């Protein structure tokens, strides 16, 4: 009774210690792994993110990171199992070495079963994780495009697709379950056989010592009962010890997917010898810049499906070719040209979302790849075509790039972007919450908030991709005038199909097929009667085409 009580109390105390320890290790580990993974995802280049569904990153962060918990839990349980196993082996061995040896004879086949099933279970678990990640992506994509689905009446099709994804997920879980069931069955049979052997041999010892050749101190029924009741206390830890591989399999599958990201080197990162670059106005220079997207990108494959113009069909050639441009501090330049000419790609190279595959981009003569990425990006205020708005207040969205900005600075940026008026009409004004993706704002309002956000950063180079595409003529004129007002103070690089937004620029570069084919002021380009002239003729009144400030004529 006393030994039993001590053992029970010891086992329970060890159990509590195990829980405390494993929870501590698990939660701290989860925190660390999630933070590391998030930082890595933040650092990975746009190409990585664009070539994978968002759901993949979500699944890795939310579910796969638990893999480490499972592994750490197994490690902690194994440490505790070693202690329990050693104590129980001594206790049982002192009662009956022969029966203990029989009880432990289960260990070798147990270990073999665990190695064999460990491998299979891991393979199946990886498959399950991948299917689960696809499922998360499918849900994320279909919910994000629910409006499109409803507008085109594709609910049935999308439902069938969704159902297919769920079926695939469940099929892979079934495959895993089958292996788990087979594993449980084999382990159960092994212990069943070992239990029978212990009982059989123990029964024989009792029969021998009590009836056949009675001897004092021989095995009694009571001894056998005590021994068998302790069996569970040695087999439990034994299972944990030999089952390390099988127990860790699920966790290992998740952990492998996490490591896949953690071990990845971002295509754009600080070089070891990267130099700091204090923020101030600098000459921006593109020197024979060429660029090609990596082949596996989704947009590249969309092009390969043949839905693009003739210029876009030849994927073997560069998106940008031999682009040389020099923009001095305070100048404003514009890039115009047909859709797919490479204008947005060129803008993406400035903050190093991608690195050029040929040539160099320089700031004051320093190769952009040689400076710290953070410093380089602090030189640039960006308004992209698909700039996101966050689910916080209007003021917080505007101040995103400069969180310490005063209320007056936020208001001034909004005023310059032509956003002040509509913001003041919103319920709560600057404190009005913006819905996810800016869903409670119009396209033009979102665009103006993005412009305000960029202007507020105070970065010396303002880069705008189609900043006025969603604006009415009145607001387009307003924004254009604000950008004009930046002349001399900030460098403005703008891409626009609306020539009225760029007529005032110091230089306009016309792009075609990744090359700059014309350059000059609006008047010079109109007079040249080339590509720019035909674009201007399509967009503007004939007298404006003649070069009398088309922007103002159109806006008026
Ligand atoms: P638009 O005026 O329509 O915005 P653009 O001149 O800005 O067009 P880009 O967006 O730079 O053109 O695209 C240039 C080419 O590069 C296109 O053929 C496009 O399909 C391709 N492209 C753009 N982004 C990617 C990407 N992430 N992966 C692969 N190809 C891309």
Per-residue pLDDT at 297: 44
74, with CB counted inside 10 A (0-12, 13-18, 19+), is buried
Residue of 343, 385, 496 to test ligand 1 pocket, by largest number of atoms within 8 Å of CB: 343
Per-residue pLDDT at 538: 84
As a whole number, mean pLDDT of residues 20-37 equals 88
pLDDT at 337 over 50: yes
pLDDT at 514 over 80: yes
Residue nearest to atom 26 of ligand 1 (CA): 299
Residue 504 has, within 13 A of its CA and on its CB side, a CA count of 15
Q: Could you tell me the distance, in angstroms and rounded to a whole number, from the CA of residue 50 to the centre of ligand 1? A: 13
Nearest atom in ligand 1 to the alpha carbon of residue 341 is 6
Q: Could you tell me the distance, in angstroms and rounded to a whole number, from the CA of residue 52 to the centre of ligand 1? A: 18
Give the pocket of ligand 1 (CB within 6 Å): 50, 293, 297, 299-300, 303, 312, 319, 339-345
> What's the farthest any 2 CA atoms get from each other in the chain?
125
Q: Could you tell me the distance, in angstroms and rounded to a whole number, from the CA of residue 455 to the centre of ligand 1? A: 25
Q: Could you tell me the distance, in angstroms and rounded to a whole number, from the CA of residue 31 to the centre of ligand 1? A: 38
Q: Could you tell me the distance, in angstroms and rounded to a whole number, from the CA of residue 340 to the centre of ligand 1? A: 5
> Of 444, 449, 347, 465, which is closest to residue 390 (Cα–Cα)?
449
Q: What whole-number percentage of the chain has pLDDT above 90?
A: 38
As a whole number, mean pLDDT of residues 17-37 equals 87
pLDDT at 154 over 80: yes
pLDDT in tens, 286-321: 999 999 987 754 444 334 333 344 344 444 458 999
The set of residues, in sequence order, having a beta carbon less than 8 Å from that of 499 and lying 6+ positions away, is 336, 522, 532, 535, 536, 539, 540, 550, 551
Residue nearest to atom 25 of ligand 1 (CA): 299
As a whole number, mean pLDDT of residues 271-295 equals 92
Per-residue pLDDT at 121: 86
Residue nearest to atom 17 of ligand 1 (CA): 340
Q: What's the whole-model pTM score?
A: 0.73
As a whole number, mean pLDDT of residues 367-373 equals 94
pLDDT in tens, 217-250: 888 999 888 888 888 888 888 888 877 777 777 7
> Of 444, 489, 437, which is closest to residue 462 (Cα–Cα)?
489
As a whole number, mean pLDDT of residues 46-74 equals 85
Q: Could you tell me the distance, in angstroms and rounded to a whole number, from the CA of residue 514 to the centre of ligand 1? A: 10
Between 432 and 18, the higher pLDDT residue:
432
84, with CB counted inside 10 A (0-12, 13-18, 19+), is buried
Per-residue pLDDT at 396: 93
Nearest atom in ligand 1 to the alpha carbon of residue 47 is 27
The owner of tokens 């310059």 is: 416
Q: Could you tell me the distance, in angstroms and rounded to a whole number, from the CA of residue 441 to the centre of ligand 1? A: 27
Residue of 345, 386, 497 to test ligand 1 pocket, by largest number of atoms within 8 Å of CB: 345
pLDDT in tens, 160-204: 999 999 999 999 999 999 998 998 899 889 988 988 999 999 999
């Amino acid at each position: 009774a006393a030994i039993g009580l001590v053992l029970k109390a010891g086992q329970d105390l060890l159990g509590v210690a195990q829980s405390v320890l494993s929870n501590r290790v698990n939660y701290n580990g989860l925190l660390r792994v999630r933070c590391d993974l998030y930082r890595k995802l933040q650092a990975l280049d746009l190409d990585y993110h664009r070539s994978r569904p968002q759901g993949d990153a979500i699944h890795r962060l939310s579910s796969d990171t638990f893999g480490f918990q499972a592994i750490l839990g197994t490690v902690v349980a194994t440490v505790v199992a070693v202690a329990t196993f050693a104590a129980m082996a001594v206790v049982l061995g002192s009662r009956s070495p022969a029966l203990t040896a029989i009880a432990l004879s289960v260990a070798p086949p147990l270990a073999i079963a665990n190695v064999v099933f460990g491998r299979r279970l891991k393979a199946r678990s990886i498959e399950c994780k991948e299917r689960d990640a696809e499922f998360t992506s499918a849900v994320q994509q279909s919910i994000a495009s629910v409006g499109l689905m409803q507008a085109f009446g594709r609910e049935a099709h999308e439902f069938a697709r969704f159902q297919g994804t769920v079926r695939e997920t469940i099929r892979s879980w079934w495959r895993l379950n089958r292996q788990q069931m087979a594993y449980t069955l084999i382990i159960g049979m092994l212990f069943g056989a070992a239990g029978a052997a212990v009982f059989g041999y123990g029964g024989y010892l009792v029969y021998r010592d009590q009836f056949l050749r009675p001897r004092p101190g021989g095995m009694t029924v009571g001894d056998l009962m005590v021994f068998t009741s302790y069996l569970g206390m040695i087999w439990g830890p034994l299972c944990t010890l030999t089952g390390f591989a099988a127990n860790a399999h699920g966790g290992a599958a998740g952990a492998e997917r996490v490591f896949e990201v953690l071990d990845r080197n971002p295509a754009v990162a600080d070089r070891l010898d990267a130099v700091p670059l204090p923020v101030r106005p600098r000459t921006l220079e593109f020197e024979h810049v060429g660029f090609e997207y990596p082949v596996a990108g989704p947009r590249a494959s969309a092009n390969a499906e043949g839905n693009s113009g003739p210029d876009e069909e030849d994927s073997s050639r560069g998106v940008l070719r031999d682009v040389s441009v020099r923009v001095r501090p305070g100048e404003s330049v514009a890039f115009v040209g047909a859709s797919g000419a490479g204008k947005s790609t060129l803008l993406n190279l400035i903050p190093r979302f991608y690195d050029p595959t040929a040539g160099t981009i320089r700031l004051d003569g320093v190769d952009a790849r040689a400076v710290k990425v953070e410093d380089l990006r602090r030189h640039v205020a960006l308004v992209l075509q698909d700039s996101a708005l966050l689910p916080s207040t209007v003021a917080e969205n505007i101040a995103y790039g400069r969180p310490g900005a005063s209320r007056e600075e936020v208001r001034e940026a909004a005023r310059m972007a032509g956003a002040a008026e509509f913001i003041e009409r919103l319920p709560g004004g600057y404190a009005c919450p913006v819905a996810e993706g800016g869903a409670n704002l119009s396209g033009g309002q979102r665009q103006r908030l993005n412009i305000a956000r960029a202007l507020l950063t105070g970065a010396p180079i303002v880069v705008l991709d189609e900043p006025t595409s969603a604006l009415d003529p009145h607001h387009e004129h307003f924004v254009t005038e604000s950008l004009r007002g930046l002349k001399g103070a900030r460098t403005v690089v703008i891409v626009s199909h609306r020539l009225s937004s760029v007529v005032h620029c110091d230089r306009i570069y016309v792009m075609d097929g990744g090359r700059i084919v014309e350059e000059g002021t609006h008047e010079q380009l109109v007079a040249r009667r080339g590509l720019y002239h035909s674009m201007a003729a399509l967009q503007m009144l004939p007298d404006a085409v003649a070069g009398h400030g088309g922007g103002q004529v159109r806006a008026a």
